[in-house]
Every structure is written in C-alpha cells, then in structure tokens.
Amino acid sequence: MDNYTQKDIDRFWSKTIKREIEDCWIWSASCFNSGYGAFHLRGKIVKAHRFAYILSHGEIPNELEICHKCDNPSCVNPAHLFSGTHKENMLDMHIKGRFVNTLVPGNKSAKLTIVQVKEIRFLYSTGAWTQKALAQKFSVYQTTVSKIIRWESWRDI
C-alpha cells in the first residue's frame, strides 16, 4: 500500500457520514457528475470509494474496478465495496436491473427513432457514408452506428 499519512486518512474519513456497518457511509464532500465522491489527494482527484477500498483492502490491481454492493455511488463504506473486472461490474449491474439500454426500440431513453435506424442502415449500405459521418449526422457515437449496421442493436427493425 502507498504510504498515506495519518493526516490524509483522517481528512478522508472526516468527509464521510458514518453510520452502522450495514448502512451506507455517505461521502459529504465534492462529487463527480456521476455521483461518485471526489477526494483531493496529493494534487490529484481520486474517486472516494476507490480510496476507501484501498485504505481497507489494499491496492487495486490495474484491471479491476471497485463495485458497490449497495449501488450507491456516494457510499464509501468498505463493507459495501468489492473488486471486480469491468465485465463482472456490468453483469452485476444487469442482475440488479440497473442497466438502461438506450439502443433498443421502445425505450423512452432511446437516442434514435425507428425511422432513423432504418435510414442509418440504408445510407451505410450505399457506400457513400462512413460510420463516423453517420454518427455525426445523427448525433450519436460511432460505436452506436456500428452496432446498428451489424444488427447488434435494434435487431427487430
């Protein structure tokens, strides 16, 4: 583990609203737009839940993410945190029903309409449009266009 000073550690925990061990411990300082706590440490900003995990469990291997059992991004309770790969984190999200697929028809959060999806496929099939150009035209990511033309999303259209 990195050599964090007691001052670093005390400052970190002073920004936490601690409750019982089974409850979420809420980060009370600044947060990222995503809701995850932001802790200023040695000139860098680190995610608070990751630092809480490090303090309690040790360093995090590069390929692992720190996941929440409680699904509360502002929680820094080490008892609620576990490490996992990105794939495991996404599977956990799906199992708990927190995944919102904005690439499927009928979803109120969908970024495209059925007509637009058909137009993307048609325009791409002409050979006159690149995925990047279509992404710009429809204000979506190139990966979204790629999934549409490969029928990985919007399969029923």
Tens digit of pLDDT for each residue in 95-151? Answer: 876 655 555 555 555 678 888 888 899 999 999 999 999 989 888 889 889 999 998
60 and 78 Cβ atoms separated by less than 8 Å: no
**Cβ atoms 51, 4 nearer than 8 A:** no
Please give the CATH topology (third level) of the domain spanning 6-95.
Homing Intron 3 (I-Ppo) Encoded Endonuclease; Chain A (3.90.75)
Q: How far is CA 45 from CA 30, 108, 156, in A?
A: 10, 35, 44
For residue 2, the 8-state DSSP code is -
Domain boundaries, the chain: 6-95, 101-157
